[in-house]
Structure 1
Amino acid sequence: MQVRKLRHRVVSATALCGVGLVAMGGTAPAATAADIRSRQWYLQDMQAENMWKVSKGEGVTVAVIDSGINAELPELRGQVLAGADFNKNPTGAHKDEEGHGSNMASLIAGTGAEGGVQGLAPEAKILPLKVKLHANSAVIDEMLSKAVRYAADHNARVINMSLGGEGVPSYYSKVQAAVTYALKKDILIFAAVGNNGDKKNLPEYPAALPGVVGVGAMDRQGSVAKWSTHGSQVALVAFGDELPERCMKREGICTAGGTSQASAIAAGSAALIRAKHPEWTNNQVLRVMMETAGKPANAKMPSEYLGYGSIRPRKVLVDGEGDPGPADVNPLTNTKNPAPAAPSAVATEGKDGEKAPAPSAESVEAKTETSRGGHTTVWLAIGAGVVVLVGLAVAFTLKRRRGSA
């Protein structure tokens, strides 16, 4: 059985260290600041204060499948549910030895208490589902599938997975079955697409699985980050670079970037919309997010770099835009939902050797508006990208952060 290494990057001023599962991104020390909240520029760009007059995510549970969550951080006190640890030797869902899961949870539902991270949906609750994917293919597939099914069976409305692994869909047959199960139970699933767009640019899973909303990253200027993995698996993009957060390996504030963060921002946006419109299904919430996303003028969409555009929840919440459309049609696949899910059962296997489609090569250069209060997608000028599938030996990654000075 091949071992899938889960790599994550943590970049500091003095060292670069690689570890198992990659969370999409890297971390670098930030300049001294009074608190983290004062450095969260993207909240102003997204017009968070206006959105919070309409929705703060109340009543919505977001499952965070990650490295665990430290429920004692000031901004996460009272925000984190019991959850579960799916590791062979569990230490508890509320213990986060790596720090990644805690940072993702804070981006989604942090309260900003004591100068901590202010989440996009501060009245949502977090369901921590702990995985540590330093294991072989079968174990990884099993653990992730159990976590997704647990979320589906414990009232999650949104799932965030800021992690991923290379390979082919057949490696993730149980995860695919779990995703299908969760979609039947009206859950919206986001995953980071990866941080290798300027290198191998291989598709990563679960983001590339059908039914999962793959999220890419854009920078502070609204440009798609050159390292954000691109391809047909990209459905949407969100801010994911130069975001302040707690340093993972020491005390202090760090600046982080990666599709991990972008996926968390997408999940928080979905929580805001689900709280405002509890009558909308997962398909309808996703459809309005796609319809209201910032798009380059006259560009063919979806783009392998942007998907359907940059997430702008204020267009739904504040401006009332977006047609939810049919409740039972998935806007990504344009197919109707299967019959309602039965209670969680053993996952079925997928086709052996099935391969993910490679996106068509393209070169895009387009400009779009800058929305009032912040950027959408300002421009793209990226050359053609080709996806190459690997064999049995794959690198699994928690999509951590890429550091920036």
Structure 2
Amino acid sequence: MHGMPMRKVNSALVGLLLAGVAATPANAQTVREQQWHLDAMRADDIWKASTGEGVTVAVIDTGVARIPELEGQVLPGKDFAPEAIAGDERSDYKNHGTAMASIIAANGKGPGGVDSAFGLAPGAKILPLRVDLHGNGISRNTTLIDAIRYAADSNAKILNVSMGSWPDSPDLSNAVKEALAKGKLIFASSGNDGNDDTFYPAATPGVVGVAAVDRDGAATKESQHNAAVDMSAPGTDIVTACSGGTGLCTGHGTSDATALTSASAALLWSAHPTWTNNQILRVLLNTAGKPVDGVERNDYIGYGVVRPRVALPTPGDPGPADVYPLPDLAAAAAAAGTAASGAPVPSTGGKITAPPPPRAGAAVDKGDGGGGLSWIALGLGACVLIGGAVAAVVVRRARS
């Protein structure tokens, strides 16, 4: 039985972090009961098939603090932040990276073993890679690129980048390509300004850009809507473990959605350890909850809302192991080749027209009489299979 509704304490967005994180006060509900996103995604059913065991997620962020909910979950990592930022990768200087790691892999046990927040993939491991959010754009970009390259050479299969506003650069694009070539998947936040501006690395070809949806399956007002959006996940009132205060935080935004998408990939990869990064991503895309108007994708929720509850029991054909399933990587390579030859470069603005707000980002019909969130948990609606390439080619770039 639920007690009083949880009181949400909003906090201002800080710098480049693409989520709001605020302390969550205690109340009559258990922590697990407050984690509506786990109920919506049918976590209890998912965990019967997979907990993410055997999969490591590199959390490229502000550090991952030592908290009970992550005890035994965090591997030795590396600190790429400058000496001016005190501590190391196990110090969280913005109380952000810890929350992202917890959304992914928290074990549900707080101080003294009391019940606390769970991550969606509690069997997964976290590789903490701390980067710089201060200083000028060049130094920040360097730490991000170094972290991506480090993760590419590690045992981590998934790279979670719950932040944005990094400068685009050839070095960033090359680091992403290197990671993909070494079998990694990279998920990044699309941004929280609520407009169509693009954020990097979400807009970097080869990175899966993630948007946020609310309890009704519609894109949140703060979530970016542009050609860089590939997938979406819950991103409002996300209760998770964090550092400081009560040890619990309520977050919102595309940061949280990105962490849930990374966790979903970990669940699927744990169940199918021989699949490649391309096959894992293809199945996540094919089993996502599609837009209500039947289009293959739109700029609000991308190809749909991630649904590991569908992907695990009914993955379908994972497709070719060596073909990246999204169109941006091949399109970017083709554009680069055309430019190098001196021929005219085709337009890269090809955004897909989205339905009008406020239901622009809605996922497939819920099919549950209007209550709950079966649109995430159940396999309703048509799934447009994504093969080696998608017909609509979209190359991401910043708006001029």
Question: What interval of TM-score do these two structures reach, taking the shorter chain for normalisation?
Answer: 0.7 to 0.9
1:194 correspondence with 2:191: yes
- CA distances 1:106-158 after superposition (whole Å, capped 9, x unpaired): 11011101322201111110000001221222212211011011111111101
- CA distances 1:223-264 after superposition (whole Å, capped 9, x unpaired): 111211011100001011011134666325442210000000
- CA displacement at 1:31 relative to structure 2: 6.1
TM-score by length of 2: 0.80
Partner of residue 273, structure 1? 268
In structure 1, distance between residues paired with 2:218 and 2:270: 29
Change (3 A) 1:86 1:371: farther
Task: Please list, as runs of the form range in 1=range in 2, the aligned pairs for 1:3-402 lying within 5 A after superposition.
Answer: 13=9, 17=12, 19-27=14-22, 29=24, 32-33=27-28, 35-70=30-65, 72-89=66-83, 91-113=87-109, 114-165=114-165, 169=168, 172-197=169-194, 200-246=195-241, 250-251=245-246, 253-318=248-313, 320-333=314-327, 357=349, 359-364=351-356, 368-370=364-366, 374-376=373-375
TM-score by length of 1: 0.79
Give the aligned length: 351
- CA distances 1:334-381 after superposition (whole Å, capped 9, x unpaired): 867xxxxxxxxxxxxx99xx9974735543456732267734379xxx
SS in structure 2 opposite 1:290? helix
Moved more, 81-90 or 100-109: 81-90
Change (3 A) 1:36 1:250: same
The residue type paired with residue 82 of structure 2 is: K
SS in structure 1 opposite 2:326? coil
The residue type paired with residue 370 of structure 1 is: K
| Structure with the larger RCO, 1 or 2 (CA within 8 Å, 6+ apart) | 1
In structure 1, distance between residues paired with 2:217 and 2:242: 24
The answer to whether the 8 A contact 1:188-1:282 is kept is yes
- CA displacement at 1:298 relative to structure 2: 4.5
RMSD: 3.0
SS in structure 2 opposite 1:164? coil
- CA displacement at 1:205 relative to structure 2: 0.3
The answer to whether the 8 A contact 1:222-1:375 is kept is no
SS in structure 2 opposite 1:117? strand
- CA displacement at 1:166 relative to structure 2: 5.9
In structure 1, distance between residues paired with 2:261 and 2:398: 27
SS in structure 1 opposite 2:317? coil
Percent identity at matched positions?
44
List alignment gaps of at least 5 residues for structure 1.
1-11, 337-349, 379-386, 392-405
- CA distances 1:14-60 after superposition (whole Å, capped 9, x unpaired): x8556432233353645624543231112121111111111111110
- CA distances 1:299-346 after superposition (whole Å, capped 9, x unpaired): 22221111100100111213x23320000111112867xxxxxxxxxx
The residue type paired with residue 312 of structure 1 is: R
The answer to whether the 8 A contact 1:370-1:376 is kept is yes
- CA distances 1:267-311 after superposition (whole Å, capped 9, x unpaired): 000000001001110000000000000113452222111110010
Change (3 A) 1:95 1:211: same
The answer to whether the 8 A contact 2:192-2:223 is kept is yes
SS in structure 1 opposite 2:239? strand
The answer to whether the 8 A contact 2:217-2:363 is kept is no
- CA displacement at 1:96 relative to structure 2: 1.1
List alignment gaps of at least 5 residues for structure 2.
1-7, 331-338, 381-395
Change (3 A) 1:121 1:360: closer
In structure 2, distance between residues paired with 1:249 and 1:19: 17
The residue type paired with residue 211 of structure 1 is: G
The residue type paired with residue 322 of structure 1 is: G
SS in structure 1 opposite 2:122? coil
